[in-house]
Chains A and B, each alone.
Chain A
Amino acid sequence: GESVGLHLPTLSVQEGDNSIINCAYSNSASDYFIWYKQESGKGPQFIIDIRSNMDKRQGQRVTVLLNKTVKHLSLQIAATQPGDSAVYFCAEMGGNKLVFGAGTILRVKS
């Protein structure tokens, strides 16, 4: 079936370094992708999104890249901070529902 998956389940980075979290998706018909951050005991928090007619979108300290040729999505976090430690999910919009990947744990070492 259709699915969204992640290459790396856990990522450890040094404070101040850049982080890159990757995601592969399988539904080539998806036209909307979102990155969410989830801290322990909280609901997913919207980070950034991108439409399929774009290949890059930037926010504050975050950049999302979309490569439709290989069905790959990535989230780049600049100057990673301890507060960035969380689980990160990519999700694709299938119809009106989001299909989430399993998540990547980001650990920031001080």
Chain B
Amino acid sequence: GAGVSQSPRYKVAKRGQDVALRCDPISGHVSLFWYQQALGQGPEFLTYFQNEAQLDKSGLPSDRFFAERPEGSVSTLKIQRTQQEDSAVYLCASSSPGASGRFTDTQYFGPGTRLTVL
């Protein structure tokens, strides 16, 4: 079956522009996560959804970052008034309880969107 997909794969924005990054989780996965990965570092948690409910947004770096998952499937991460420090790879992951052969918490990642802010 299809894995987690993200679009666009690459995004170049001028400082001050708004961007929207899309995540399509694995079908049926109730949990969805966004992470930010700076060059040469490990991913850092941004926010977490269970179905359509955003249960944890403690990792969002500022109020310019906003995420939604209105129907409990596709999610969008929006960054307003982008700054150079927002340049990073944005990763989406999904997980589901009861996946065969796995612990319930296994998160499967998409390929990421590389955002470059000029």
The count of residues in chain B whose C-beta lies closer than 8 Å to any C-beta of chain A is 26
20 contacts between A and B (CB under 8 A): A32-B105, A34-B106, A41-B111, A42-B112, A43-B4, A43-B91, A43-B109, A46-B107, A89-B42, A89-B43, A95-B56, A96-B31, A97-B33, A97-B45, A97-B48, A98-B35, A98-B45, A98-B93, A98-B107, A100-B42
Residues from chain B with a CB closer than 8 A to the CB of A62 are: none
Is A45 close to B, CB under 8 A? Answer: yes
| A60 vs B44: C-alpha distance when bound (angstroms) | 28
By size class, the interface of chain A is 20 to 34
Question: CB-CB < 8 A to A103: which residues of B?
Answer: 40-42
Complex CA–CA separation, A96 to B56 (angstroms): 9
Partner of B103, one of A32, A96, A99, A100: A32
State the CA gap A44–B4 with chains docked (Å). Answer: 11
Closest-by-CB residue of A relative to B102 is A49
- Chain A residue numbers with a CB within 8 Å of B48 are 96-97
16 additional A-B residue pairs with CB within 8 Å, beyond A98-B35, A98-B43: A32-B105, A43-B93, A44-B43, A44-B91, A45-B109, A46-B107, A89-B42, A96-B33, A96-B48, A96-B56, A96-B105, A97-B48, A97-B56, A97-B59, A101-B42, A103-B42
Considering the complex, give the chain A residue whose CB is closest to the CB of B31: A96
Whether, in the assembled complex, B110 has its beta carbon less than 8 Å from a beta carbon of chain A, the answer is yes
Who on chain B is nearest to A90 by CB? Answer: B42
